């Protein structure tokens, strides 16, 4: 593989106006990389980049990458992050999710191929489905229901991984695949349906905090700054992956809800509601490969990440609930 400038001189980020995309853009700009951000604003918003939109190194372009991807000039790195990611979004947008995972990924890979750029696919722990191996190492093939409601997301990402691998083996594109486990932090949407923003919103409003099932199912949650660092390590490594990036510190959903109530100082009580179909029972990354291949380990403790997230939500919700402050 070719030697690449590190940090990259010019990067394309698809899904730039989303939760993770906006944090990646911010970090790339701070490292001196010029960024072209592509986003259709399907589930993201330009408000997520309002604080850097005047940065001379950023060009934010509205574009649906399932239609086409055209970026003039040199590009060293393509970070492909466009896709609805929250269950609430992809259940509402099943075809869009399948299209961005398939056609959108093909277009983003085509861009990397044309430019001779490194390509990083944002895959997901959802490729493991409701796992029968715990914790999940990268070698585990997963336990996914292709025709269940979550299949549109899980299978789109599994297909995207297969396509990325084929572009590497058949076209020689320098690809990397990151399997991202649940990540949280500022700029999640209060109504995106994921557990932490939902709990924080409910607790700040003094409403019951709704825990699915008995709340004994587990999640391992990673603070966004740790994830971004891991992704950029993978981007500069030349490693093909797939590599799990996530925090192996496993918590029950009930414990997450209780900690959110404590962190917000709320008097909210827990309310137990039905479990979604095919909701995974356990989730914890095996991060040995990330440690060995990238020298990566999470650094932000759950309590610290939660405190920063609560502080951000307090301000965002006070501002009208749009999640616009950064
Ligand atoms: P998000 O919904 O906040 O961001 C996704 C962005 O992609 C949005 O800005 C949206 O408008 C854009 N987008 C969607 N379809 C598009 C299209 N056809 N063309 C152009 N832009 C389009 O979600 P996120 O949490 O930031 O997730 C980003 C990526 O990371 C996704 O690929 C997701 O699957 C992956 N991921 C996220 C997590 C997590 O915990 N947040 C976990 C695993 C994987």
Query: Dmax over Cα atoms in the chain, in whole Å?
Result: 58
Cα 223 to Cα 306: distance, rounded to the nearest angstrom: 8
Please report which confidence band the pLDDT of residue 299 belongs to, taking 50, 70 and 90 as the band edges.
very high
Q: Tell me, using a 6 A CB cutoff, whether residue 18 lines ligand 1.
A: yes
Residue 59: is it exposed, middle or buried by C-beta count within 10 angstroms (0-12/13-18/19+)?
A: middle
Q: What is the mean pLDDT of residues 167-178?
A: 98
Q: State the pLDDT at residue 326.
A: 39
Please report which confidence band the pLDDT of residue 134 belongs to, taking 50, 70 and 90 as the band edges.
confident
Joined together, the tokens standing for residue 63 give: 């574009």
Q: Tell me, using a 6 A CB cutoff, whether residue 44 lines ligand 1.
A: yes
For atom 21 of ligand 1, the residue with the nearest CA is 39
> HEC states along 204-259?
HCCCCEEEECCCCCEEECEEHHHHHHHHHHHHHHCCCCCEEECCCCEEEHHHHHHH
Question: What pLDDT digit, counting tens, does each position of 140-149 carry?
Answer: 999 999 998 8
**Which is higher by pLDDT, 132 or 97?**
97
Distance 195 CA to ligand 1 centre (A): 17
Please report which confidence band the pLDDT of residue 325 belongs to, taking 50, 70 and 90 as the band edges.
very low
Please report which confidence band the pLDDT of residue 319 belongs to, taking 50, 70 and 90 as the band edges.
low
Closest CA to 138 of 238, 231, 233, 245: 245
Q: What is the mean pLDDT of residues 21-29?
A: 98
Helices 253-264, 302-318: axis angle to 10 degrees equals 60
Q: Strands 183-184 and 209-212, how do they pair?
A: unpaired
Please report which confidence band the pLDDT of residue 93 belongs to, taking 50, 70 and 90 as the band edges.
very high
**Cα Rg of the chain (Å, integer):** 19
Task: Judge whether 251 and 219 are in contact, CB under 8 Å.
Answer: yes
Distance 44 CA to ligand 1 centre (A): 8
Query: Which residue in this structure is represented by tokens 């137990």?
Result: 272
Q: State the pLDDT at residue 275.
A: 86
Q: Tell me, using a 6 A CB cutoff, whether residue 223 lines ligand 1.
A: no
Q: Mutation test of ligand 1: which of 12, 14, 17, 18 has the most ligand atoms closer than 8 Å to its C-beta?
A: 18
Cα 172 to Cα 193: distance, rounded to the nearest angstrom: 39
Of the listed ranges 116-125, 159-168, 185-194, the least confidently predicted one is 185-194
pTM > 0.80: yes or no? yes
Q: Which of the residues are catalytic?
A: 153
Residue 321 has pLDDT above 90, yes or no: no
Distance 112 CA to ligand 1 centre (A): 19
Question: What pLDDT digit, counting tens, does each position of 185-234 carry?
Answer: 999 999 888 899 999 999 999 999 999 999 999 999 999 999 999 999 99
Q: ipTM of the predicted structure?
A: 0.99
Q: Which residues does 262 contact at the CB level (< 8 Å), separation at least 6?
A: none
Cα 22 to Cα 255: distance, rounded to the nearest angstrom: 29
CA distances from 314 to 186, 307, 317 (A): 10, 11, 5
Distance 83 CA to ligand 1 centre (A): 4
Cα 34 to Cα 58: distance, rounded to the nearest angstrom: 6
Please report which confidence band the pLDDT of residue 282 belongs to, taking 50, 70 and 90 as the band edges.
confident
Q: Tell me, using a 6 A CB cutoff, whether residue 242 lines ligand 1.
A: no
Q: Tell me, using a 6 A CB cutoff, whether residue 178 lines ligand 1.
A: no
Of the listed ranges 14-18, 34-38, 188-192, 275-279, the least confidently predicted one is 275-279
Per DSSP, helices labelled H in the chain are 19-30, 87-92, 94-99, 105-115, 151-171, 195-204, 224-237, 253-264, 288-294, 302-318
Tell me the pLDDT of the chain averaged across its residues.
Answer: 93
Cα 141 to Cα 137: distance, rounded to the nearest angstrom: 9
For atom 17 of ligand 1, the residue with the nearest CA is 64
Compute, in degrees rounded to 10, the torsion defined by CA atoms 299, 202, 125, 251: 60
Distance 81 CA to ligand 1 centre (A): 5
């Amino acid at each position: 593989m070719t030697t690449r400038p590190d940090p990259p001189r010019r990067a394309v980020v698809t899904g730039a106006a989303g939760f993770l995309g906006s944090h990646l853009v911010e970090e790339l700009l701070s490292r001196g990389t010029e960024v072209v951000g592509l986003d259709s604003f399907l589930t993201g918003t330009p408000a997520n980049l309002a604080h850097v939109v005047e940065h001379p190194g950023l060009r934010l372009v509205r574009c649906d990458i399932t239609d086409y991807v055209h970026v003039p000039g040199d590009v060293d790195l393509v970070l492909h992050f466009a896709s609805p990611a929250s269950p609430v979004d992809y259940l509402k947008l099943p075809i869009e999710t399948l299209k961005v995972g398939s056609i959108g990924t093909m277009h983003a890979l085509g861009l990397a191929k044309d430019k001779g750029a490194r390509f990083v696919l944002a895959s997901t722990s959802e490729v493991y489905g409701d796992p029968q191996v715990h914790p999940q190492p990268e070698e585990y093939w997963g336990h996914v229901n292709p025709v269940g409601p979550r299949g549109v997301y899980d299978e789109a990402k599994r297909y995207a991984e297969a396509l990325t691998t084929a572009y590497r083996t058949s076209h020689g594109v320098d690809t990397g695949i990151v399997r991202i486990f649940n990540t949280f932090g500022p700029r999640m949407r209060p109504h995106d349906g994921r557990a932490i923003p939902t709990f924080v919103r409910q607790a700040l409003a003094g409403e019951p905090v709704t825990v699915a099932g008995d709340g004994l199912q587990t999640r391992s949650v990673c603070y966004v700054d740790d994830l971004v660092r891991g992704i950029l390590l993978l981007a500069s490594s030349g490693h093909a992956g797939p590599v799990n990036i996530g925090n192996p510190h496993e918590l029950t959903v009930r414990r997450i809800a209780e900690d959110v109530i404590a962190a917000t100082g709320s008097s909210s009580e827990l309310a137990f509601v039905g479990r979604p179909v095919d909701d995974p029972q356990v989730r914890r990354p095996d991060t040995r490969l990330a440690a060995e291949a990238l020298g990566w380990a999470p650094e932000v403790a759950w309590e610290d990440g939660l405190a920063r997230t609560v502080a951000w939500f307090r301000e965002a919700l006070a501002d009208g609930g749009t999640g616009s402050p950064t």
